Amino acid sequence: MTGIPSLADLVWARGYTDPAWARRHTTAGRELVPSRRVWRGPDGASPLPAAPAGALDGLAFTGPHGQDLTLTELLAGAETDALLVLHRGLVVHEEYLHGYEPHVPHFNASAAKSYLGLVAAALAHEGQLDRGAQVGTIVPELAGTAFGDAQVDHLLHMGTRMSYAGRPYDKALEAQRYFAVLAPQLRPYGYTGPSTIREHLATAQATGEPGIAFRYENGNVEALAEVLRRVTGTTTSALLSEMIWSRIGAEEDAYYLLDSEGAEAACGGFSATARDLARLGEMIRCGGAVGGRQIVPEAVASTVVSGVPDGYPRRVRFPAAPPEAPATLSYHDLWWIPNDPYGSFMASGIHGQRLFVSPALDLVIVHYASQIVSPAVPQVPLVQAFLRIGTHLRG
């Protein structure tokens, strides 16, 4: 990759305004803090056969201002690093931009939340995880905190309300504070806060009853990851490898960033190649199976959309959506659900990372990007573009 800043220039706040910084961060995570691999296993990679080229030629998309865009213009506007489209198991489009290479793991950001949700749902289905258990009974260090007083299922649905260290809750500030916990290089001058994820979680005090409202917050996922580590007795990396990554025919190891205690940054510190993420999505689209081998229970794979439990908000907004925006999405087991006619669901991360799965359209799309995150920069409507691709391929 060319024209990228040095590691010395990596200051977290710049990721909201500088695509070159964001692009550097997507592949340089292991140079900032320690990491742990998610082993791809001993078997060879499963094939990703290609369809004839040109399936998306001439396709038109709608831009953020309602203008017509070509695919090239769409990808440029979204600061795309990679786009991979699978239709009925065949690669119909695979493209890498800005010097990003197919074999290099790419930062998934908050899309990683959904992969942990899939693991948790599978463990619950198999009876190894009690969704109704109080978190503090599994992780005693969190007893008396907003997360410890919640149930496991509340974490899976962003159902806690808290403030950290007595601060009024502000999502953007808390996101930056979280990364300051993880990476000393990203801490502001004079920082005296927590130095580990667990210390950070321990400062969360409840400001409302859990399970009532939806509020997207990284701490829910970090608390869930600690629950899974206690229940299974293994690391998040080893658990994801054992249950999924080593079984989908991945080409490359993935990896998680670690805090100073060696705990994975489960809410967003995961990186993988686009091709391997496509394999994950295709496994879910096919009812949790790869080549006739069941990877996750079919009941888990088939109920991502239909399984939103009673008592939770049926419609929610994206974290960055303004309060007046209509709540059109649903959220289940850390997956976003667009509520389109095709039963689609997706993992979504800051800067434009997406794993989009649409069973009725036989579609899986991986999108990696380095978008600027700012109200001043119109966001390319990626979900609408994905549906345009899917309906076009369906014919």
Active site residues: 110
- Evaluate whether 34 touches 262 at the Cβ level (below 8 Å): yes
**Are 145 and 151 contacting, i.e. CB atoms less than 8 angstroms apart?**
no
CB atoms inside a 10 Å sphere around CB 377? 15
d(CA 297, CA 126): 8
Would you put residue 98 in left (φ > 0), alpha (ψ -120 to 50) or beta?
left
Q: Cα-atom radius of gyration of the chain, to the nearest Å?
A: 20
Beta bridge partners of 355: 347, 366
DSSP string for 307-350: TPPTTS-S-B--TTS-TTS---BEEETTEEE---TT--EEEEET
C-alpha span between 199 and 62 (Å, rounded): 45
Q: How far is CA 196 from CA 34, 37, 177, 182, 260, in A?
A: 13, 20, 11, 7, 6
Residues 6 or more apart in contact with residue 346 via CB below 8 angstroms: 114, 335, 336, 338, 354, 355, 356, 357, 383
Distance CA 138, CA 140 (A): 6
DSSP-derived letter for residue 392 is H
Q: Which of 170, 175, 172, 160 is nearest to 207 (CA)?
A: 160
- Strand segments (E) across the chain: 35-38, 61-62, 68-69, 80-87, 90-96, 106-107, 162-164, 204-206, 254-257, 270-272, 289-290, 293-294, 330-332, 335-337, 345-349, 353-358, 363-369
